[in-house]
Structure 1
Amino acid sequence: MRAKTRRYRQIALVVVAAAVLLGVNVPPAFSYVQEWQHERLINSPEYKAQYGHWDTIEVPPDNRVNAIHAVLLNSGKVLLIAGSGNKEDMFATRALKSLLYDPTTGQSRMIPVPDDMFCGGQTVLPDGRVLFAGGTQRYEKLDGAVTNAAGAMRVKNENPNAPRLIPAGTEFVSPTGQKYKSEYDVNLPPAAKTGVGRRTQVTASEEKVFVESETAGPQAVNGNRDKYTVTGLSAADSKNIYGIGEPMTLDKQDYQGTNKAYTFDPRTEVWTELPDMNQPRWYPTLTPLSDGNVLTVAGLDGVGQVLNGLSEEFNPRTNTWIDRREVLKQYFPTYPALFETEIPRRMVYTGSNAGYGPAQEGRVPGFWDIDTGAFTPIPGLREPDLMETSGSAFIGPVQDQRLVVVGGGGVGESPVSSARIDFLDLKNPNPSFTPGPNLAQPTRYPNLVNLPDDTTLITNGSLDYRGKGATNNHLAYTLDPATNELRPMADPRIGRDYHTEALLLPDGRVLVAGSDPLFDDEKNTIPGTFEQRIEIFTPPYLQSGTPRPTISSAPGTMTRGSTVTIPTPDVGRIQKARLMRTASATHVTTSDMREVALDMQKTPDGVTVTVPPQATIVPPGPYMLFLVDDQGVPSEAKIVDVP
């Protein structure tokens, strides 16, 4: 008690002295001392060894971007993609950006992007290229900002012998003479023709395009689904090509997606255009499959409507898109959390998503067979109406087939959020969600990152929609899948909510970027500022003072089913070996992150590790190889390819 009294007396003397010296009141000076004590605490070796440490990276002003998407490349660098970065003025001027950041050297380099990749989808391909698909074709217009009536036009072609290009700016005329112009090109395939003679049937082809009235004001509003003529066609073409208009209104207009697709090559650091997708997509999910293809699902289409089914696959061997609309008709909200299970082409949807879509449709978690299209619901999820902006991931080695769902909130700008953590064991004969621990507070936008010690980092997020009311939580935890327990970590210095992402780095640290609050103050009166600083979290396993084990060398390629010798001078204390796939993230959706446990035997000079033979456990692509010692301390990773 005397020691405490003496310590408090010393603090009081420091406060008074600081107040006299600074010419300020005691409360601000006391706050200064508290901050000094806090900094001293969080920078102490003992604190770091228990809770880890956050470092803020100040990117040079000319290299700052609004990080919407993040990808770890097989070069060890991080690609932060902004596109227009949720800035309509940058969209208008085509000031479209991406940033290449090297966490080893701290160097960064701006790389222009060829199209607005804002809010598209991304993943890492088997050969290490980044696939990026979709993005922004048109920004939203809110209620009150719409001056010209607009809506979707279904353009039809009844000619089975002739495809047609309907160029942007084509005029559609209603039965009453109102004129509307299309926003972009439409490629109309020929109509489908079956049978012969009297049994011939022609089914018109159809594509949608967004059209806007040529005149402002309510007189162009049309709630009917009229048949529209197309200006500029010949008499013969006018019989076969026409439009069926959906309601033309002055209501809010949502973002519109693009069908553009590109790859980024980490070797050349250059973007390359691919053939277009079959559908425009804004907020899509791209999930890598065990056969090397990429399942591409959901999003807002070219007129701002949620796609109803219309999924497709990308084949990276031929750089082509496979239209799966005839089989894959399952409806999902935008950015659905989809993962391939250990059964080939059997997906699991956890219910996590990023927003657009009605509250009562596509929100039920389940198994999805992408060969047959069959969908089987999974029961047991708590607070199923609070899954928007929640996080989902495999936890622990993927061989365990355990998933976690973390946090989330109500649909749209709901102020309601959840502290729920639920687990899903896919190996259970009757899989259902089971309760886990709760977060310290309800949280939207939590980032989840698998660590090489088998735990999962959960960091950041906010209580309310996009951090409204200054509700960013500045919290971090690790989740141990062996005990299902949460352990508090050091508090992030920077609050992060919407448009934030996190990635594991080859040195075992975690990079966090982005954040796009709606407001910058507690009363929601000051428009939000996009967070352009990067933070890097160093987990406790790198702060204990224990020298980290080293990998002397590793092969460039590790084939499934093969046994490989990894030399290390620390063989006596190596306990396990892990492959961590290089991951990508956006909108707290990470569909390609996974941790693979390797069978391991010790030798006099190192360890031999065996890669699992199943492609559903080890999908092709680049991985980080870690060796982890008996104290949970990982080596620096070697990046290897699983072909």
Structure 2
Amino acid sequence: MRSGRFTARSRSLRRARLYLALGLGLALVGLTTLFTAARPAMADLTPEPPEHHSAMSSPHHPVAPANAMEPAAAALDRTGWTVSAGSEETSSENGRAANVLDGDTGTFWHSRWSGTADRPPHTITLDMHRTAVVSALVYRPRTGNPNGRVGEYSISVSKDGQDWGSPVATGTLADDAAAKTLGFAPQGARFVRLTALTEAGGRGPWASAAELDLLGDPGTPQATVDLPRTGWTAAASSEESGAEDGRAANVLDGDPGTFWHSRWSTAAAPLPHSITLDMHRTADVSALSYQPRRDRTNGRAGAYTVTTSTDGTSFRAPVAQGTWRDDDTVKTATFTRTEKARFVRLTVTTEAGGRGPWTSAGEIRLSGPADPSVHGSWGRIIGFPLVPVATAVLPGEKMLAWSAYATDRFGGSNGYTQTAILDLKTGKVTQRRVDNTGHDMFCPGIAMLADGRVLVTGGSNAEKASIYDPATDQWTETTDMNVPRGYQAMTLLSTGDAFVLGGSWSGGEGGKDGEVWSPKTQTWRKLPGVPAGPAMTDDPDTPFRADNHMWLHATSDGKVLQAGPSKQMNWITTTGDGTLTPAGTRADSGDAMNGNAVPYDVGKLLTLGGSPAYEKSDATRRAYTVSLSGEKVEAARTGDMEQARGFSNSVVLPDGKVAVFGGQSYVVPFSDATSVMTPELWDPATGRFTSLATMAVPRNYHSVANLLPDGRIFSGGGGLCGDCETNHPDGAVFTPPYLLDADGTPKPRPAITGQVPSRTTPGVTLTVTTDKPVESFVLMRAAAATHSTDNDQRRIPLKSTAAGEGSYKLSVPSDPGVVLPGNYMLFALDADGVPSVSRFLTIA
């Protein structure tokens, strides 16, 4: 047995140990389930304990990070705070608002219910009596009695108690007793208001809370963008160059595996230690991000200050100071004011863990104010009652999301799934438990069908297949697959059938050969000529990890290009027994598991990011174009990303550019260490990436991103690891720069007017009218995303000719291998590349 391989027994034992962490938490959940079994109204939202896993069921590795129980940001000191509510119960019980600040979870605030109950919405407002940076509200429901648990909510902030502006967060909470952390982009405020719009269980017109806390600055700047580091230099007051390469320059090399370290091999240089970045030009700077060294804990920065200078000699008063936690996550010091500076100095006065008189850093970056017309902007955080691990865009401006049998964790084969629908018009999120198909749809394959339905296969219930119909809002089951799978890849074929390959995460390891589902017969057909083996990566944990999340691109005549993540690409045919033949390598690319493949034009894909192994592996900055011409496949390296990414998500925009969100430079499931917080935008005209506005929440393992019907992008999720810090049951909408002016106001957009047929076929000519002259039209396929993979998205530019004032004739390609059957969003773009709001149509 080669090094790095495992016998079935040793792998089973390893996974059992790793699964223990989640299982202990689920034991408590199981007791809750037993207690609530007699209450049918509540049972549908109560997680059940997972079934026992055999060696063949291959559960995830649910290992929480070492600091899993610590909050993402410190809770603010509540001394001197006061609170007021729009309604409180004072007659029949002590339901005063002040109870949320008394430190006793046995007391609570409750809206008035005796006599005539006050109707929602109900508000409760915290006054800190000082201005502080706030990034989240922690809501703890009352204990025992479920009445008044907050369902739909919004959060608003104010500096003066008068001007509240738009909500900074909205969403829907699960109907359970767990504490909820409701995050939003960090900002200065004195007042924070929680508005309860509905009661979670629909039991009455009430709202209640046991305790409310606020979290401070997590070190994530708002409306900033990373400054390009080309030409920068770094100098340190002390650096180790004898026993190791600990030079200051390592913080600028883009490799978090190298690091700066203060001198230690002879007489250790005493604290404090400083490192100074010289940008060799003056720039507006508003934040510094610090990434700890990755290999060891020694030298993590604790107490720090940041100062700036224009000449490198005279440094101003500190613009940031504080103490960072002793963990491996990226830290950000947000400046109290934007500074014009050439030099920025980080001075560290203590080692975070008190291990010695050392300081180290893997990477240091600086951020400046974002220009919306160049970098885009982020909307409010939208809270979900579950971690959105998988998502699909639907007609009617809705988005489907789901997690697993539970809202915040996975495990077992429980036969049901927690789902949610986000209404993109209102921001309302509604939750539903789906159990009529007997399918726990965690870690699935997804294909958007020709008629607009969503086919979901495998996962925790590895053999199952379920279908969601957005027209009826109903889930139904279809025939089980021949091969049980989890983490498999799927795509719709030009024939309207669905193809699946790989998936050794569940249902046993290996043998996950191809098969095809027919919508006409509702049955699966094996493809013995399409083995999974040649499409696998060389992961050390093969085949468990090596056949996961394949990049499948459907073409003409039922063919598929398997473009990755293996460095070897393959052509697949699906007629008869099927065939699999090599299509060459992706230029000089290595294996790129958990990377992305995005069809940005007809017969053209961008592949980017990923890593040689599924976990505990360095990601890459590299990106490649893959061009198809008949059977010929050509791959070439394009510009590199600024930062390496695995577990990221990428979305093609109507103008052909590709936006990439989140990810880690060193991939570790259920960790936010080495998070990349700055998205990037690739331009096919130049082959280069540019930075976009910084995110407020890390998006790594189990995150998603989708193009929305109005040309914006949803980015959300991450985690699903139970009681851990890296659960992110939320998302946010990103507005790309093509929609914004420099001051952040929306650009004028063209509009498609008149009727657009709801259904049509390939090869037709459509007549479309617009309210002003436009330059081009494009079809964007409605897509589904999970686990960094979206095989459904594709962009199809249309040939158009003017047919009179405001009227255009559009030619839809006749090849269903180009216009894959399914739902599409039709966009019109003006001469500046500004897209209209789309119109949905089905092409089949």
TM-score, shorter chain, exceeding 0.5: yes
> Residue type matched to 2:400 in 1?
L
> Residue type matched to 2:708 in 1?
L
- 1:71 Cα offset (Å): 0.4
Stretches of structure 2 lacking an aligned partner (at least 5 in a row): 1-280, 286-306, 308-316, 324-331, 340-365, 536-546
- 1:297 Cα offset (Å): 1.2
Residue 389 of structure 1 corresponds to 594
> Residue type matched to 1:466 in 2?
V
- 1:303 Cα offset (Å): 4.5
State whether residues 483 and 512 of structure 2, in contact with CA within 8 Å, keep that contact through their aligned partners in structure 1: no
Deviations 1:288-323 (A, max 9, x none): 1111111011112764313342x2111123322222
> Is structure 2 residue 587 aligned with structure 1 residue 374?
no
1:136 aligned counterpart, secondary structure: coil
1:491 is aligned, of 674, 680, 694, to 694
- The whole-number CA distance in structure 2 between the counterparts of 1:35 and 1:345 is 58
The number of aligned residues is 475
State whether residues 66 and 85 of structure 1, in contact with CA within 8 Å, keep that contact through their aligned partners in structure 2: no
Aligned CA distance change for structure 1 residues 507 and 423 (closer, same or farther; 3 Å): same
Deviations 1:333-382 (A, max 9, x none): 122111113x3233211221xxxxxxxxx652222233341312413532
Aligned CA distance change for structure 1 residues 35 and 594 (closer, same or farther; 3 Å): farther
> Residue type matched to 2:806 in 1?
D
2:685 is aligned, of 479, 482, 485, to 482
> Residue type matched to 2:620 in 1?
S
- The whole-number CA distance in structure 2 between the counterparts of 1:92 and 1:346 is 33
Aligned CA distance change for structure 1 residues 52 and 109 (closer, same or farther; 3 Å): same
2:689 aligned counterpart, secondary structure: strand
State whether residues 85 and 118 of structure 1, in contact with CA within 8 Å, keep that contact through their aligned partners in structure 2: no
Residue 493 of structure 2 corresponds to 289
Residue 241 of structure 1 corresponds to none
Residue 537 of structure 1 corresponds to 734
Aligned CA distance change for structure 1 residues 69 and 429 (closer, same or farther; 3 Å): closer
Stretches of structure 1 lacking an aligned partner (at least 5 in a row): 9-14, 16-23, 138-257, 353-361, 520-525
- The whole-number CA distance in structure 2 between the counterparts of 1:42 and 1:301 is 39
1:348 is aligned, of 528, 536, 561, to 561
- 1:407 Cα offset (Å): 0.9
- The whole-number CA distance in structure 1 between the counterparts of 2:443 and 2:612 is 21
Residue 639 of structure 1 corresponds to 840
1:334 aligned counterpart, secondary structure: coil
> Residue type matched to 1:474 in 2?
M
- 1:442 Cα offset (Å): 1.7
Deviations 1:571-602 (A, max 9, x none): x2x00001101000111111111111111111
> Is structure 2 residue 827 aligned with structure 1 residue 621?
no
State whether residues 345 and 370 of structure 1, in contact with CA within 8 Å, keep that contact through their aligned partners in structure 2: yes
- 1:462 Cα offset (Å): 0.6
Q: Which has the higher strand share?
A: 2
Residue 607 of structure 2 corresponds to 405
> Is structure 2 residue 253 aligned with structure 1 residue 49?
no
Aligned CA distance change for structure 1 residues 540 and 26 (closer, same or farther; 3 Å): closer
Residue 579 of structure 1 corresponds to 779
Deviations 1:505-564 (A, max 9, x none): 001000011112989xxxxxx954211111111001111243100011322123211111
> Is structure 2 residue 482 aligned with structure 1 residue 278?
yes
Structure 1 window deviating more from structure 2 (427-436 vs 559-568): it is 427-436
RMSD over aligned Cα, in angstroms? 3.1
- The whole-number CA distance in structure 1 between the counterparts of 2:696 and 2:765 is 43
Q: How does 1:543-562 map to 2 (within 5 A)?
A: 543-544=740-741, 545-553=746-754, 554-562=756-764
- 1:489 Cα offset (Å): 1.4
State whether residues 501 and 512 of structure 2, in contact with CA within 8 Å, keep that contact through their aligned partners in structure 1: no
2:373 aligned counterpart, secondary structure: helix
1:606 is aligned, of 807, 815, 819, to 807
- The whole-number CA distance in structure 1 between the counterparts of 2:319 and 2:512 is 62
Residue 215 of structure 1 corresponds to none
- The whole-number CA distance in structure 2 between the counterparts of 1:53 and 1:302 is 39
Aligned CA distance change for structure 1 residues 36 and 493 (closer, same or farther; 3 Å): farther
Deviations 1:134-155 (A, max 9, x none): 1204xxxxxxxxxxxxxxxxxx
State whether residues 463 and 507 of structure 2, in contact with CA within 8 Å, keep that contact through their aligned partners in structure 1: no
- The whole-number CA distance in structure 1 between the counterparts of 2:333 and 2:487 is 44
Aligned CA distance change for structure 1 residues 302 and 597 (closer, same or farther; 3 Å): closer
> Residue type matched to 1:261 in 2?
A
> Is structure 2 residue 537 aligned with structure 1 residue 337?
no
> Is structure 2 residue 106 aligned with structure 1 residue 106?
no
1:34 is aligned, of 317, 327, 335, to 335
- The whole-number CA distance in structure 1 between the counterparts of 2:793 and 2:811 is 20
Aligned CA distance change for structure 1 residues 304 and 36 (closer, same or farther; 3 Å): farther
Aligned CA distance change for structure 1 residues 117 and 539 (closer, same or farther; 3 Å): same
- The whole-number CA distance in structure 2 between the counterparts of 1:582 and 1:35 is 42
- The whole-number CA distance in structure 2 between the counterparts of 1:285 and 1:606 is 41
> Is structure 2 residue 657 aligned with structure 1 residue 455?
yes
Residue 134 of structure 2 corresponds to none
State whether residues 408 and 721 of structure 2, in contact with CA within 8 Å, keep that contact through their aligned partners in structure 1: no
> Is structure 2 residue 721 aligned with structure 1 residue 508?
no
Residue 69 of structure 1 corresponds to 390
Deviations 1:363-408 (A, max 9, x none): 52222233341312413532414x111111212x22xx11121011
- The whole-number CA distance in structure 2 between the counterparts of 1:107 and 1:76 is 12
- 1:86 Cα offset (Å): 8.7
Residue 144 of structure 1 corresponds to none
> Residue type matched to 2:657 in 1?
T
Deviations 1:78-124 (A, max 9, x none): 11111236966775877730110012210111021222100011121
Aligned CA distance change for structure 1 residues 295 and 37 (closer, same or farther; 3 Å): same
Residue 676 of structure 2 corresponds to 473
Q: Give the TM-score normalised by structure 1.
A: 0.69
State whether residues 558 and 642 of structure 1, in contact with CA within 8 Å, keep that contact through their aligned partners in structure 2: yes
State whether residues 413 and 460 of structure 2, in contact with CA within 8 Å, keep that contact through their aligned partners in structure 1: no
State whether residues 417 and 463 of structure 1, in contact with CA within 8 Å, keep that contact through their aligned partners in structure 2: yes
> Is structure 2 residue 470 aligned with structure 1 residue 266?
yes
- The whole-number CA distance in structure 2 between the counterparts of 1:94 and 1:297 is 23
> Residue type matched to 1:391 in 2?
N
> Residue type matched to 1:34 in 2?
F
State whether residues 568 and 582 of structure 2, in contact with CA within 8 Å, keep that contact through their aligned partners in structure 1: no
> Residue type matched to 2:321 in 1?
P
- The whole-number CA distance in structure 2 between the counterparts of 1:67 and 1:492 is 17
- The whole-number CA distance in structure 1 between the counterparts of 2:721 and 2:403 is 17
State whether residues 466 and 516 of structure 1, in contact with CA within 8 Å, keep that contact through their aligned partners in structure 2: no
1:78 is aligned, of 399, 417, 435, to 399
Aligned CA distance change for structure 1 residues 288 and 33 (closer, same or farther; 3 Å): closer
Aligned CA distance change for structure 1 residues 315 and 425 (closer, same or farther; 3 Å): same
Residue 420 of structure 1 corresponds to 622
- 1:43 Cα offset (Å): 12
Aligned CA distance change for structure 1 residues 528 and 305 (closer, same or farther; 3 Å): farther
Residue 119 of structure 1 corresponds to 443
- 1:267 Cα offset (Å): 1.8
- 1:35 Cα offset (Å): 5.0
- 1:261 Cα offset (Å): 0.9
- The whole-number CA distance in structure 1 between the counterparts of 2:334 and 2:524 is 61
State whether residues 367 and 378 of structure 1, in contact with CA within 8 Å, keep that contact through their aligned partners in structure 2: no
- The whole-number CA distance in structure 2 between the counterparts of 1:278 and 1:517 is 28
Aligned CA distance change for structure 1 residues 549 and 77 (closer, same or farther; 3 Å): same
